Structure 1
Amino acid sequence: MQIFFCIDYQDGQLRDLTLWNQLMPEEQVQVREFLDSLKQFNFGLFQRFPVFGPCLPQRLDHAWCAQLAESIDRPTTDVIQSLIRAVGIVPTSKAEAFLLHDIWGHHWQLMLTQFESDYALLTTCGEGLRAGETAYTDDGPLACRELFEWVTDAVKLDEAKARQFFHGEVRQRLGLLFTHLIGEMVADVAEFKFVWDCPQSADQLLSSSLFKAEPTKLDLSLADVDFLFLRVLQPLLEVHVSVLEEGELETELLADWAELGYPVDSLELRTSLKQAIVHLYQVFLQEYNRTYLPTMMGEMGLFTQMVSNLLYLQNAINSLYTDVTAQTDSGLPFQDLLIVFIGCYCSSDSFAEFWAIDDVLAGYFLPCWYHLQAVTTA
């Protein structure tokens, strides 16, 4: 169900110089551009969970996909979706660093967790703010269009609602980030099973982590946090307002009001709307600086709490995975059940469950494990 192509390349070119030099200059340019594209990040990669590979629908032979779909009596779209999720490319020299992680670590998540829906939403996190964007707050859903009020041919921002919307939207976006953190973490643990089962061959498993002898990899998790934290929040913090043209948010709000019969053609109104949108982002930035600034200095904000909780969780998993319980020959796969439990538990509301999973392992997983063990050995 997964297809990996190992290509012997490094620094944007084939390592076999004889083969590389046989290529025409324009062919070398094409190969270099393709290889460089493999390391470029975009949110669209998350649509291709669990491989996050380079296979795009437009690059597929759709006639061949249709023929294959007909032979297995499935819609062509199913075949295309399966392929873009299944095909990966790795450099041959680093194959051992990727293949176990991707094959053992990620593919089961597609079938046994609800991560797929979160990754689909994560795909949209780089898009600009829309009028219909809805944050789920303590008082219920709140759409972005509800933050703006029409007051006698002018637009006013409801600051209280704006703050409420911001915190709700940030929690949703960070919940998607937590899904990715948990998904990568349990994939690391699944990869570690090779080291656990075959310690004599552990040196053959390449790793970029400093924690190769531990199930979880704190340094890789922190790198993911550092890379994605601001990226998922960026559309809430970057304002793009021009006096020469209207942005998507402006266009949608004006269309809403025009449909209600409000006069939306006056320059004064449109300028007022731009000011209200700038004001919105000022409120967002104030709340971001107050609560979500990604720093370990000063008061303990959410970022510090997130890193601390990640450390607690990884310590708990490391202890459980290597505990004597895991070495008992009961016929039950303790370590496999552990990572499946974590993946399933954290795949319905990752923002809420991320903070509690270490306590849940102690309060629910272990008692259930001992009960299961007692039942199966009775």
Structure 2
Amino acid sequence: MLLHNKLSKEELKKQLENENFTRKTFSFYRYVIIANPQEFRDQLYLKWFELNCRGRIYIAREGINAQMSVPEQHLEAFFSHLNSLAELQNMPIKWAVEDNSKSFYKLIVKLRPKIVADGLNDNAFDVTNVGNHLSPLEFHEQVSHPDTIVVDMRNHYESEVGHFENAICPDADTFREEIDLVVNDLKDKKDQKVLLYCTGGIRCEKASAYLKHHGFEDVNQLHGGIIAYAQEIKQLGLDSKFRGKNFVFDERLGESINEEVIAKCHQCGKACDTHTNCANNDCHLLFIQCEECRDHYQGCCTDECAEIIQLPIEERMLLRSKFHDKYSKSQIYRQRIRPKLNQL
């Protein structure tokens, strides 16, 4: 019985390119106790594979976190199946702001210790004591108040291409690192109103409870995240207070919220918010690159990586272990990319 993908990346991408129907991209999450995560995971995989779903889904005893691409003709069957499961009934869905039907090329359903890698000891604080949930309109009305502290609970590469006006955007590589940065940086402002936001809301669930555990008195979070905000504000005909692009963790790597470009190419400084991964797969750094620099650097983040991809595969394999011993991805960004960026 097939319980995981057996086709190559190239085969899967070719299948996706040749599809003659429309897919819909959406996401959802829920903290709910799943008694048997392995059995639950296998059940989901079998049904969603049958419906030709693609996406990245994490299952843990504490719940589910899913980003999905489903054929339009199978949406009714998909949601019928979702509602047939007690743990997933009446699930709030966040539809993609921009959708090219090519967001995911394979179906991945993984078991994880947690549905968001936060590195926190959940037994050390009350994870259910979360902040006040603000609707997109409520958040919109409060986000510009001078006495309000707005915090972006996403990683630096996400907030770099888009964020709310006047938001604090911590320089963090991981969610775990960011939570402690926020608690420490705001330790003298625990009596002020704090507004948290993230992509779809899931990170704010844990972050808001963590801030309250550390004595923050007025913690609030954007319900449904940036995705829900963008859709509701557009429907209401209001000017978005989110500037730029919303980073997403799929093949699109981003969806524009207000058509504004607030980031710049990491190599030349030209206005640009297009993320890409370094063409040197032994590096694979995620960074921002304009078309001109893509051609000049052959899709690589540095001249060093551009030289490496020209080498015979045998030489590249010899360099591989040395390269990984020398650099982590965050070191590549901070030691090789950021110094150039600061000079632009």
State the TM-score bracket (shorter-chain normalisation): under 0.3
Higher RCO (C-alpha 8 Å, min separation 6): 1
Considering fraction of residues, name the structure with more strand.
2
Larger Rg, first or second structure (1 or 2):
1
Q: TM-score, normalised by structure 2?
A: 0.27
